[in-house]
Structure 1
Amino acid sequence: MTICELIERRVGILGLGVEGQAALQALRAAGYQQTVPVLVEKPLTLDESWGPVQLCQGAAAEAVLPELDVLIRSPGFAPGHPWRQQADRLPLLQTTPTNLFLAEVRRAGLPVIGITGSKGKSTTSTLLYESMRAAGLPVCLLGNIGVAALAQLPEVLAEDKMTVLEMSSYQCADLQLGPSIAVVLNLFPEHMDWHGSVDAYYLAKMQIGACQLPGDLLRIDQRAVPWMQRLRPVAEEEMILQERGYHIADGFFCRGTERLFATTAMRLPGRHNWENGCAVLAAAELVGVGAEVVQGVMGEFSGLPYRMSDLGVRGGIRWINDAISTAPEATVAALQAFLPQVATLIVGGKDRGYDYAPLVERLAESAVRTLILLPDSGRRVAELVRACSGLSCRIIEVADLPEAVQQAKRWTEKGWSCLFSPGAPSYNQFANFSERGQAFLKAVGNGDDW
């Protein structure tokens, strides 16, 4: 479904965040003149440039749904939301801003490289985008990275740009048309409160490849293949697997049997970053960008804010800000990347019931001497650590992040590192991971007045 196909229909929008606003503006740019009902949970201030808008809350939202022909859904509304469930029972078409964007750019014949995975998709997307830019290609970086794709549609079409599109599980879940190149990274359980189960979450991710067109390309982590096969039969020759293409061996990035360059040439530490680097190399090759260009970008790129960001030495302690870590697997990856320097680890956040046993196992192999635990998931981590006979470290449960940093300053010996990698969402105390990362920066300070 394209935007032009909506002009003569009664269209409503579910949610008016960044994605909802982009959908509204796209409708207006296409010449849509009707009043647009927008279903929102809280009152909002309208912008005059949006044209006639009818804000609907509560009973008014429920009443307007049967009057619509098409509902454009923002990605934040989970399948279990009452308005979504009501819409599912009605004979109205549903789409999303991501679907509208992909329909338009693919109709124009412009390449889209969609990237998804449980962790590392922002870094992978950025590395690919910078590599394509370094090669002189007209490219933009959109999607879950923080830029609503539909808002940039006029520029993409006018300048014939290629798109690197970071895609969350929310955006993948109901895709109607996949990207021309799909990249699937690692998978581990996340967003259970939105999807309802691990099964639903993994299958949502796999939609990125399940609805591609004949001739489209799929680069997928070998471990994700069984999940993809559940949605559509995919022959091996249709997939670009890490084991047959770019991979890591003996400290080198390799392609088949050919050594390309050492993993130390990549500025970001850790095997998970190297594996995602292989995905960048594979995707870059598909758009004509050579490994030497990617190597140059890898050597310069120091990482995204709040993702294993090395803040340097302050007060004799090296501080590492991994506030973007929202699952225990991400904490394990961060801990592994900075072994054996980490003596203090700060963990905890909104409790979504994740399994912290693999993190506790990794702690037993690490040099961590002090474990500082934040509410709410910190309590469960403390129970697991106390029950682990092979693990001996100081356990400190705190009320908030400033207290956690104060305890880290007290107990971390000079010359060692403190890693803040929550392994849980931020929503119990912060609006998002960015706010959490800023709070950590403020609490650490510059070290001059300790």
Structure 2
Amino acid sequence: MNKLTDFPYSCVLVLGLAKSGTAAAKLLLENHISVRVNDKEAPANDANVQMLQELGAEVITGSHPLTVLDGMEMVVKNPGIPYNNPIVQEAQKRHIPVITEIELAGNMVEGSIIGITGSNGKTTTTMLTAQMLKASKEPVQLAGNIGTVATDVASTLKPEEKMVLELSSFQLMGIRNFKPKIAVLLNIFAAHLDYHGTFANYKAAKCNIFKNQTAADYLIYNAEQETVVDAVGGAKSTKIPFSVNRELRNGAWADDSSVYFKNEKIIDKQEIVLVGEHNLENILAAVAAAKLSGANNEAIRQVLMTFTGVRHRLQYVETINSRIFYNDSKATNVLATQKALSSFDKPTILLAGGLDRGNGFADLLPYLANVKLMVLFGETKEKLKKLADQAGIDAVLVEDVAMAAKTAYAKSDAGDVILLSPACASWDQYQTFEERGDMFVQAVHTLV
């Protein structure tokens, strides 16, 4: 098991449990560091609380008394806890460093870290990169915001293994010395401003991914987004741009027919399963990261010819009698559905509807040019019916997403795209967007 190196703190407060806090506390205890845990929500009989107590941690639950900071030299904060939390603010007043467990993970890793961040596309790019390396027989493990705690992976990572990390702005705010060998910055759009306060703070958090890099490290960035180009201007890293619009002999790029890395053609675009310009950006970033990490072109091609996308995010489901089904259940707002509709130039049947949050759908109107039919469900189906009427598109109202799939298939023609992209949250009929998407996928498979 890997150990923390050059870690000068002997007493650490872990603030917030969940997966990352529990893993961080356990790691610190295994490294013979005195640990105090504070979680306001966890019950005293929680299994993780009891496990950490048995390992020697002091655990305080039910409140956030400022006294938990007494005698502490560092705070490891759960990424979801905001910086206006009283404990965090008091720690800063006392000049106690506040980090996230990503910093601990970086401390233990001897091999290469590929860190991937951005407002959109992180998960797809992370999975693509890892699969390209795996297909090339390069030893690799996935971790981070994608669902696997980074310290759990880092503690057992072998020196020859690479770690591909999906990193959120919440995680990146809490780093001090963390430095990936390859950093990927996909895009920066206004997001999580309730957490960060301002767009400038959010942008700064994203830019932490490359702040400790040197010229010996690589920074892959979106050369077509002005905000990103401005952000990386002062980076010391070796810069590798990517663009869907123009030739870049020092990076990854695409023209009308193919994808390239520097001077090498990688694949014809028509062979790629993933659709959408936003996914082409993710593909270019992943190609660059994989090539810089030793992946070969044939392995990259095989991945791009078979990777159907992240579940519920413009995920290819099946082709039945020349009807092509896509599951984009994670499209819980209008912007996401706009992107989905922009990904297709074929006749499309749009399946939409869900929780009524009081908003309208007029912003979808310019994106309905290829939509031939709308199949609508949920609380917003009447609102969306008005949009269809305004656009001159036929609409059918049904009870749920399973009936929507069957209805769309019955009314489709060969060559049509049948797209679930609800533009609404799922909570009027389903507990999660995953449940909604799974029901759609199941309904599609029954059509076979």
TM-score (norm 2): 0.81
Deviation, 1:112, is 0.6
Superposed CA RMSD in Å reads 3.7
Paired residue secondary structure (1:36): strand
CA distance, structure 2, for counterparts of residue 358 and residue 8 of structure 1: 52
Deviation, 1:210, is 2.7
AA of the residue aligned to 2:167: M
Q: Which residue of 2 aligns with 1:74?
A: 78
CA contact (8 A) 1:13 1:72 kept: yes
CA contact (8 A) 2:183 2:219 kept: yes
CA contact (8 A) 2:346 2:417 kept: no
AA of the residue aligned to 1:88: Q
Matching of residues 86-235 of structure 1 within 5 Å: 86-105=90-109, 108=110, 110-156=111-157, 158-176=158-176, 177-224=178-225, 226-227=227-228, 229-230=230-231, 233-234=234-235
Closer, same or farther: CA 442–253 of 1 in aligned 2, 3 Å: closer
Closer, same or farther: CA 318–228 of 1 in aligned 2, 3 Å: closer
Closer, same or farther: CA 351–125 of 1 in aligned 2, 3 Å: farther
CA distance, structure 1, for counterparts of residue 209 and residue 36 of structure 2: 29
1:239-271 CA deviation, whole Å, 9 max, x = no partner? 211242221112211345654431122222222
Matching of residues 407-446 of structure 1 within 5 Å: 409-410=406-407, 413-415=411-413, 416-423=416-423, 433-441=433-441, 446=446
Q: Which residue of 2 aligns with 1:278?
A: 284
Paired residue secondary structure (1:155): coil
Deviation, 1:383, is 11
AA of the residue aligned to 1:154: S
1:333-387 CA deviation, whole Å, 9 max, x = no partner? 322334424222315559699x977644222x23153263756xx699859948x
Closer, same or farther: CA 269–20 of 1 in aligned 2, 3 Å: same
AA of the residue aligned to 1:265: E
Q: Which residue of 1 aligns with 2:242?
A: 242
CA distance, structure 2, for counterparts of residue 164 and residue 299 of structure 1: 21
CA distance, structure 2, for counterparts of residue 211 and residue 361 of structure 1: 43
Tell me whether 1:26 sits opposite 2:33 in the alignment.
no
Closer, same or farther: CA 3–228 of 1 in aligned 2, 3 Å: farther
1:167-220 CA deviation, whole Å, 9 max, x = no partner? 122222333223111011133333343333444333322221233234221010
1:271-324 CA deviation, whole Å, 9 max, x = no partner? 222222211221122122233321122112222222222333689976432123
Closer, same or farther: CA 59–231 of 1 in aligned 2, 3 Å: farther
Deviation, 1:55, is 3.8
Paired residue secondary structure (2:371): coil
1:126-146 CA deviation, whole Å, 9 max, x = no partner? 121122122222211111121
Q: Which residue of 1 aligns with 2:400?
A: 403
CA contact (8 A) 2:273 2:306 kept: yes
Q: Which residue of 2 aligns with 1:64?
A: 68
CA contact (8 A) 2:23 2:152 kept: yes
Deviation, 1:37, is 2.2
AA of the residue aligned to 1:73: K
Q: Where does the alignment leave 5 or more consecutive residues of structure 1 unmatched?
A: none
Paired residue secondary structure (1:219): strand
AA of the residue aligned to 1:132: L
Aligned length: 432
CA distance, structure 1, for counterparts of residue 143 and residue 22 of structure 2: 15
Closer, same or farther: CA 229–309 of 1 in aligned 2, 3 Å: closer
Closer, same or farther: CA 288–136 of 1 in aligned 2, 3 Å: same
Tell me whether 1:305 sits opposite 2:311 in the alignment.
yes
Q: Which residue of 2 aligns with 1:362?
A: 367
TM-score (norm 1): 0.81
CA distance, structure 2, for counterparts of residue 384 and residue 86 of structure 1: 52
CA distance, structure 2, for counterparts of residue 78 and residue 384 of structure 1: 40
Closer, same or farther: CA 408–40 of 1 in aligned 2, 3 Å: same
Q: Which residue of 2 aligns with 1:251?
A: 257
1:45-79 CA deviation, whole Å, 9 max, x = no partner? 13454313444345454442345322111112233
CA contact (8 A) 2:215 2:238 kept: no
CA distance, structure 1, for counterparts of residue 395 and residue 292 of structure 2: 49
Q: Where does the alignment leave 5 or more consecutive residues of structure 2 unmatched?
A: none
CA distance, structure 2, for counterparts of residue 81 and residue 298 of structure 1: 43
CA contact (8 A) 1:430 1:436 kept: yes
Tell me whether 1:17 sits opposite 2:18 in the alignment.
yes
Structure showing the higher helix proportion among its residues:
1
CA contact (8 A) 2:376 2:395 kept: yes
Deviation, 1:437, is 2.9
CA distance, structure 2, for counterparts of residue 65 and residue 72 of structure 1: 12
AA of the residue aligned to 1:162: K
AA of the residue aligned to 1:52: G
Closer, same or farther: CA 187–204 of 1 in aligned 2, 3 Å: same
AA of the residue aligned to 2:129: L
